[in-house]
Amino acid sequence: DQLLDSRLPALGREGLRGEHGLCNAVIVSPPGAPFLARWLEAYRTFDGSQWAEHSVALPMRLAKAQPADIRLLEAEAFFWPLWDDAALRRLLLYREYGFERNFATHLWSQAARPYVLSLWSPRFAAAVPSALNCRTRMLPQ
């Protein structure tokens, strides 16, 4: 399929137009990808107080420097909806989000925890008809 038929790693943009960078929550890649090796090497200088620098901003800079080594996907591929209040409400509390363009869905656990993730369970998923709960009900048991 279009996600796996490539010799390049695929990462999704984070933000409406990728303005935050490339998110590391979902990476689809063949083994030994040079892009990922360069990124991993850069983690030698990782500073936990600046998490987003290495995990979101740096991969975008690396992708711009070596664009032939990576496939950049739109945010909808993995990281949509975003972590803002309105988007999380549509995903977690209401049935106002479709997943037509998603390969995966990042749940933004820190931002989403106040809504429902701390309460989420199979029983909650069965009882509350939110977009995410309706989606997970479609998964094989």
Percentage of the residues of the chain whose pLDDT score is greater than 90: 31
User: Mind listing the pLDDT tens digit for each residue in 18-71?
Assistant: 788 998 889 999 999 999 999 999 988 988 888 889 899 999 999 999 999 999
89: enclosing H helix or E strand: helix 85-92
Which is more confidently placed, 134 or 64?
Answer: 64
Average pLDDT over the chain, rounded to an integer: 86
The pTM of the full predicted model, rounded to 2 decimals, is 0.79
CB-based contacts of 92-99 (< 8 A; 24+ apart in sequence): 92/116, 92/117, 92/130, 92/131, 92/132, 93/128, 93/130, 94/130, 94/131, 95/129, 95/130, 95/131, 95/134, 96/131, 97/131, 97/132, 98/131, 99/131, 99/135
pLDDT score for 104: 87
Tell me the pLDDT band of 101, cut-offs 50, 70 and 90: confident
Whole-angstrom distance, CA of residue 30 vs CA of residue 33 = 6
- CA-nearest of 85, 81, 71 to 101 is 81
Q: Is 141's pLDDT higher than 60?
A: no
pLDDT attached to residue 122: 82
Coil vs helix vs strand at 86? helix
d(C-alpha 126, C-alpha 134), whole Å:
8
Please determine, for residue 7, whether its predicted confidence score (pLDDT) is greater than 80.
yes
Per this entry, what is the length of the chain?
Answer: 141
